[in-house]
Chains A and B, each alone.
Chain A
Amino acid sequence: MLGLSPDEVGILALSLRVALVSVICSLPLAVLVAYGLARFSFPGKTLVDAIVHLPLVLPPVVVGFALLVLFGKHGPIGSALNEWFGIVFAFRWTGAALASALMGFPLMVRAIRLSLEAIDQRLEVAARTLGGSRLWVFASITLPLALPGIITGTLLSFARGLGEFGATITFVSNIPGETQTLPLAIYTFTQVPGGDAQALRLSIIAVVLSIVALATSEWLTRRSERMQGDDRR
């Protein structure tokens, strides 16, 4: 496929799967958290805001280590999840997805929160007086108007997930075919003699992937802004 070896296709597919699953699973929570931070004031709001942003400023290794402690086989959350639902994160691709989701979460929340804050809340009031319940107004007015931010946040988090290295390697190690995503594979090849050519090929793939993701994000954002009748651009 496109002149790629089966191994490379495998690495690419795994990376895409990890990033995609991480984004899909974290999106609803990110919208919820962004809405809470944008619209309500409650005690401990600053603390919640700080915790959400923590992965952005902490060394990724620390995040990975925290995940290992909490979600590992014997960690308090990891063992409970395993016992009740049979969900295992440790040394699985799902763990890599969890690490990506956590690292991309602040980016997602920030973008969504910004676009929520830009919405004229009187539009929601108008919708309520027209007969819309709180939930319906959220779905029919708030979410569509926040769509540019949701798209941007999702794509940023997706790109962050594709490039995630430190937290992933700390939490789920570097297992070919299971947790060895694109950045981990590139790192591995740079560590073996004569692996430079392979590392270069994979790096080019990473560059192309990032450009495609950014271009898609730009295109989708413009499209959704046009849909909202915003033609300032």
Chain B
Amino acid sequence: MPLDTNFTNQKFKQVGTRPLRPDGVDKVTGRAKYGADYNAPGQLIALVLRSPHAHARIKKIDTSKAEKLAGVKAIITSADLPDLTAGDRGMRDMLENCMARKKVLYDGHAVAAVAAIDQTTARKALKLIQVDYEILPHVTDVDEALKPSAPVIHNDIFTEGVEPKPTKPSNNNKRASFGHGDIEQGFREADIIVEHTYKTEQTHQGYIEPHACVANVSPDGQGELWVCTQGHFVYRNQCAALLGMDISKLRVTASEIGGGFGGKTHIWTEPLALALSRKANRPVKLTMSREEVFRCSGPTSSTSIDMKIGAKRDGTITAAHGVLRYHGGAFPATWAEFGAMTAFACYDLKNVKGESIEVIVNRPKTAAYRAPSAPMAAFAVESAIDELAKKIGMDAVELRIKNAAKQGTQSSYGPVYGPIGIGATLEAAKNHAHMKAPLGKNQGRGMACGFWFNFGGQTCCDINVTPDGTVTVAVGTIDVGGSRASIGLMAAEELGISYEDVRVVIADTSSLGHNDMTDGSRGTFSTGLATIAAARNAIKVLCARAAKMWDIPEDAVVWEDGHAKPAGTNAGNFPPLSIKEIAAAAGNTGGPIAGHNELVADGAGVSFATHICDIEVDPETGRSTVKRYTVIQDAGKAIHPSYVEGQYQGGAAQGIGWALNEEYIYGKDGRLQNAGFLDYRIPVCSDLPFIDTMILEIPNPNHPYGVRGVGETSIVPPLAAVANAMSNAVGIRLTHIPMSPPRVLKAISARKH
């Protein structure tokens, strides 16, 4: 059913308020059930045997001793997971990542899995599985992997996007480019040029809840899966495909999720749990340990970026050229391409070119991490622009305002922009109190901009009016941060009823049509669109029932303030009917009252942000402390402002951790050295100040309430905002993220000599 999605600029009664979230009591009492909180009667406990080598051929796996151990009910290897992917490389890589086939490709790559009556037995069984490896040379660095001397990891990958087509296999799976204009000419016109190579190390989304699931497959081919995920429908489809099950036979119920940020958009151990359950004919519970989460789920890429930007003395940027090298871990991916697309998106550039080089290394298969690929690219661009401003002698914010994209600008990734918020966030930053606050000794201030696309996708919603007139809303997009409250607000707004009369639930995969994952900042945007559409459909039904009750034509009834009313005095002199009254008569007027909607949400609207950071650096230890931080971001329309603020603060905190401390450290042996929260140091409460937020609302014309996605953009500016602040604090430009104390100290002492 077509929905008029154009922004209506209406006045809101509920949207924009801050009611309590419906799942709040469960979460503060410990009642809410996350992935590992469910146990099936008679369940087995599964553990996974993982490779201790970064790159090796599997010569033999002998599970015979383990099979004989009392209490072991099933063991699987890749032999139990036949390749049913029929030439679909993406699915085949997914299968191989879940369990190694002929080779192990990274430290932690799964080679076998065991289901036993308890964890102690499973652990003993893992020790009894003998694997003969032939160790192969490995490479873990994104630049090293491109050298001719590097070991080639896949001998069936030839660089795509290069003419003529290469005949030798390579770790560079793809090259591509974006842009327009003539950068050579642009650089000739420049008075000042800044050119550096920037590096960012690998980070993990760092969700506090490890992956966990309970799988239950019976001999008749039906299966149940309880799992923490950002997309239970996608998990269902992919697991079913890999295991050769009909999609409709597998019912996936999503638990509450303890964080995802893109890392729970991929299947890792779920197919293994299902395969074990199928083999053992018993439920199987599989949880990842924290070490496994770091070693073998899906961190983001480490990168190496060459950035060259030129400008005239009056601050006009004349040319920008970036060459971006990102890796996808041990399997081909296209992360650098997305980096190239987002890198220059904030600016109106006549001559711009972004080149992407995709690399394969012996590291886990990377997954999306909140605005994937954008933070690294923004680090390079915003650092270079900041340096340009200094060299020209222009204020950092003013230079950006001068070159900011606006409505009608051709974006660096192609299409022309509609109404956008970058200018507004910059003006707000310029005038913000943070900019005027005094700075102390060893303190520096920096700012940076960021961008993310946001998108829509397939979404369903079921609204049911219950016999007492209260409303249930069933949606299929996972609630990662409180969106149930926002969905409830939108349903209440459309229906004209109280927020307290609406209950929002996340349905399982058998109860609704397919829903795409909660990623791409699409949760509130897409589900909101579907909810508004379903509510408008429910209103049509409510009006038709009122018409029956009054015995007047359907088109003589309107819906206002939660009541059916006659359309005009000609229609009849009836007092309004409340939703309660109409619901009470539902059995007589045609049965249960509902509104449904299935749609592909489009037009999510891009979102921009500007961040300001004050940092204090101890020149003796290199330790830095963020003293003040401000996030200014365009939300289109903040449905529930508290949760929009929460997204801004959370993304900023992750970005600060990425900028200052977080990195994967691989040894010469290709093994991950810091697979735990002690040595992979994410920000703790004492590391951060209060994070001030400013929500701007430039409505998205493609959403009836003006909503834009908000969840991701906030992680894009911090790397550069912190780096720019650091450079102002210590007078040195650092180009390697994270700017951990040893790196800062090295830079400071290098400058002394």
A-B interaction: no
